[in-house]
Amino acid sequence: MADPDRLEESTQIYLSLGLEVKAVPLGPLDFSNACGDCPETVCKTYMMIYTRKPPAV
């Protein structure tokens, strides 16, 4: 998970390692109830970064 200020840097690092990268925005419902009201106010700009090895050719 990354905030918008670090998303590009994180994405570039994963790409440089040869991984496929997909960044998906997170919404308040993506966080557990233990997070309280934080997701609705602070965390709604965070992105989840998914990576995987490219498929074998």
pLDDT band at 3 (very low <50, low <70, confident <90, very high): confident
d(CA 47, CA 4): 7
**11 occurs within a structural domain:** yes
**35 occurs within a structural domain:** yes
Higher pLDDT, 39 or 50: 50
Higher pLDDT, 55 or 43: 55
**29 occurs within a structural domain:** yes
Q: State the residue range of the domain holding 30.
A: 4-52
pLDDT tens-place string over residues 6-44: 999 999 999 999 999 999 988 778 888 888 887 777 677
- How much is the pLDDT for 24? 92
Query: What's the structural domain count of the chain?
Result: 1
**In terms of C-beta density within 10 A (0-12 exposed, 13-18 middle, 19 or more buried), how is residue 2 classed?**
middle
Give CA torsion, residues 51, 53, 54, 57, to 10 deg.
-170
**57 occurs within a structural domain:** no
